[in-house]
Amino acid sequence: MFALKKNDYILIISLLTLIVFIVLFSLRSIDDNRLTNWQWAFSFVNASRVFLILVLGIFPAYILSRISLLDHYPASFLFFFSYMITTLIWKEPEVIVDASRYFTQAKHLEVYGIGYFFREWGRSIVAWTDMPLIPFFYGLIFRFFGESRLYIQMFTTFLLSMTVVLTYLIGKSLWSKDIGFFGGLLLLGIPYLLIQTPLMLVDVPTMFFLILSIFTFIKALNCGGMWIGFSSAAVFLCFFSKYSTWLMMSVLVVIFIVYFFTKKSPSPLPSPAGGEGTKSPLSREVQGCVSPHSMGECSLISPPLRGGDEGEGVSLYSKKVIYRGISVISIAFLLIGIVFWYKFDVFSEQIRLLATYQKAGLGRWSESFISTFFFQVHPFITAAALYSIYAALKKRDPKYIIIIWLVLLTVLLRIKRIRYIIMIFPMLSLMASYGLAQIRDKEIIRFISLCVVIFSFVTAIFVYLPFMQKISIVNLKDGGKFLDSLNEPNVEVFVLPSKDPVCNPAISVPILDLFTKKNIKYEYDNIAYYQTWENIEKSPLRFTWEYKNPGYYAWSNDSAKDAAVVVISEEPEDFLPERVKLRLKGYGISRVFNTYDDVFSYRTSISVYRKKGL
């Protein structure tokens, strides 16, 4: 057998990167993602052009793979690199109508204050099945910085970048700096995650708070002291981020058990494929992290035992783990209990709704694992993660259970909706990094990781983003931007009922409000959007039919006298009701936004009217 040289591997990886694109594009009809479906997305772009960009992208990946400078400041590089990439996607519209809920809750805090938010959340502030934490942070941003989507995007992008850094720190704490670094880098190899980050949703922030609770819990078990307080706070915040985190937080129990049974001797760590005899640079770094002195005072591996006192030492270590773990959970549960008791009626009703509606709907709204782990996650990540299972079993590495647990839960419980499992992606990327750690040459690992990131970047920027900008809901974004260019400070909005609506069209008003700085007046006519309970009960957008018009949209007719008028409808030529015709007397149409797509059932058209002579 002839031995391949490094350049041969580089060539093979480059070809595989291009082949993966060709295969996925050829099989795009089996992608059943509900938002960034490859078959839909590529109907709006030139695939040959995308392929050429990917080819060109391999060259900077190769150049960066040869620069060891990335290893000297890993956390800084990961943070700024991830932030820079994501800012290029900020111009996408709000493509998921759930954003209207979070905007409405946040605006209540902005308008009426923090005290009102806590008192009325779940009552006059409709909470649906949302937890309060993320809308609370969004509301604080609106109140203290201004009601601008840009500030929300800066915040969510910051949380993504911090998640990348925390992924690195977890991998570094459990194994080595390299496993952590490539784990953080590979997290950017998920184009679906990149496209979700600029949206005013709760999924990316929830992922951050879960990964924060994992990292701080590890630090609390290792170090104790102030980390117990930090960990308790992180668990508390994670608990109130989203209901689905309750299941995922079981990983903390796994961490506790692994630490409790961790032996005093070095645990097995990934080694390069090809035997124990030859140690590569990556292997030496990985093995070097076993030394407590190389990892600092807070090492996963305890200090060496004195001769003859192994049993006593293990007992002391176990007692520390028990004390620290119980301290974190006790403080966190005390804080959680206070809030839960205060809003018990709201939480109990939400849990009932989750059990009777959301759980039953999961089967109807599911997406295949093939779509999630091969189209929306780069196949190299999935392949490396699968190989890591074999590597960990071979090494009998107990710490590996920590990173596989969330992925295992997702597969065993068949949670087949990618938005519900975004929070497991940092652990998946660490699994992939663990698998890649078996490769002897770190430069090759770096090249593979960068090829994955380039692939993800090209897909998000040149495929998903153009697709997002051509679907109907972009009219709300463009319409809001146009309203800001007008002299009128006030805007009166009318929403026309659809013939066969998939959701309550009134939900468009908060999304329009997100994109304009104008004062909006809107009177919600519930009768106009009436649907039978049988249709509403099973609708995936049921929350839209339970929409309540916020009080801040109600202002006097005198204020609306000289306002611009916006009509939101499914089609620009929809029949105008008599009351709208009366309101438009003396007005002429100024601009129509009617980008149309035949992919999604929910469509919006924006017609802007101004007084004649303006």
Claim to verify: residue 531 and residue 601 sit in the same structural domain: yes
pLDDT bin (cut points 50, 70, 90) of residue 612 is confident
Q: pLDDT per residue over 536-571, tens digit each?
A: 777 778 888 888 889 999 876 666 678 999 999 987
User: Does 289 score more than 70 pLDDT?
Assistant: no
Claim to verify: residue 417 and residue 284 sit in the same structural domain: yes
Identify whether 136 is part of a domain.
no
Confidence (pLDDT) at 558: 65
Q: Of 450, 468, 486, which residue is a domain's last? A: 468
Claim to verify: residue 424 and residue 484 sit in the same structural domain: no
Claim to verify: residue 324 and residue 178 sit in the same structural domain: yes
The closest of 489, 486, 500 to 563, measured between CA atoms, is 489
What region does 586 belong to: left with phi over 0, alpha with psi -120 to 50, or beta?
Answer: left
Confidence (pLDDT) at 72: 82
Q: pLDDT per residue over 20-39, tens digit each?
A: 999 999 999 999 999 999 99
Identify whether 135 is part of a domain.
no
Claim to verify: residue 404 and residue 552 sit in the same structural domain: no
pLDDT bin (cut points 50, 70, 90) of residue 529 is low
313: enclosing H helix or E strand: helix 310-342
Contact (CB, 8 A) for 564 and 486: yes
Section 66-70 average pLDDT: 76
Claim to verify: residue 359 and residue 378 sit in the same structural domain: yes
Q: Interhelix angle for 379-395 vs 6-26, to 10°?
A: 120
pLDDT bin (cut points 50, 70, 90) of residue 531 is low
Give the 3-state DSSP-derived string for 24-58, with helices as H, strands as E and coil as C: HHHCHHHCCCCCCCHHHHCCCCCHHHHHHHHHHHH
CA distance between the termini of the chain: 81
Claim to verify: residue 343 and residue 395 sit in the same structural domain: yes
Claim to verify: residue 270 and residue 405 sit in the same structural domain: yes
pTM: 0.91
Claim to verify: residue 501 and residue 573 sit in the same structural domain: yes
Q: pLDDT per residue over 72-106, tens digit each?
A: 889 999 999 999 999 999 999 999 999 999 999 99
The more confidently predicted of residues 359 and 273 is 359
Confidence (pLDDT) at 25: 97
Contact (CB, 8 A) for 33 and 371: yes
pLDDT bin (cut points 50, 70, 90) of residue 409 is very high
Claim to verify: residue 190 and residue 333 sit in the same structural domain: yes
Environment class of 60 (CB within 10 Å of its CB; exposed 0-12, middle 13-18, buried 19+)? exposed
Contact (CB, 8 A) for 97 and 602: yes
Q: Of 431, 446, 468, which residue is a domain's last? A: 468
The tokens for 185 are 């880098």
Identify whether 294 is part of a domain.
no
Q: pLDDT per residue over 159-186, tens digit each?
A: 999 999 999 999 999 999 999 999 999 9
Section 189-212 average pLDDT: 97
Section 140-149 average pLDDT: 96
Confidence (pLDDT) at 68: 74
Confidence (pLDDT) at 3: 62
The closest of 52, 423, 68 to 415, measured between CA atoms, is 423
d(CA 504, CA 133): 26
User: Does 296 score more than 90 pLDDT?
Assistant: no
Section 427-456 average pLDDT: 96
d(CA 179, CA 270): 9
Confidence (pLDDT) at 297: 40
Identify whether 211 is part of a domain.
yes
Confidence (pLDDT) at 294: 36
The more confidently predicted of residues 551 and 429 is 429
Identify whether 176 is part of a domain.
yes
Claim to verify: residue 464 and residue 497 sit in the same structural domain: no
Claim to verify: residue 203 and residue 82 sit in the same structural domain: yes
Environment class of 459 (CB within 10 Å of its CB; exposed 0-12, middle 13-18, buried 19+)? buried
Q: pLDDT per residue over 100-132, tens digit each?
A: 999 999 999 999 999 999 999 999 999 989 999
Confidence (pLDDT) at 596: 86
The tokens for 239 are 């608990």
Confidence (pLDDT) at 545: 85
d(CA 101, CA 131): 11
Identify whether 191 is part of a domain.
yes
Domain with 199 in it: 6-96+148-289+310-468
Identify whether 51 is part of a domain.
yes
CA distances from 301 to 138, 266, 323, 396 (A): 40, 7, 18, 16
pLDDT bin (cut points 50, 70, 90) of residue 47 is very high
Q: Of 420, 451, 468, which residue is a domain's last? A: 468
Q: pLDDT per residue over 332-347, tens digit each?
A: 999 999 999 999 999 9
Q: In what order do the strands lie in the sheet with 490-495?
A: 519-522, 490-495, 564-569, 605-611, 587-593
The number of distinct structural domains making up the chain is 2
Confidence (pLDDT) at 597: 84
Confidence (pLDDT) at 276: 40
CA distances from 566 to 265, 492, 517, 586, 589 (A): 70, 6, 14, 14, 10
Section 297-322 average pLDDT: 55
Q: pLDDT per residue over 210-262, tens digit each?
A: 999 999 999 999 999 999 999 999 999 999 999 999 999 999 999 999 999 87
Identify whether 89 is part of a domain.
yes
Mean pLDDT for the chain overall: 88
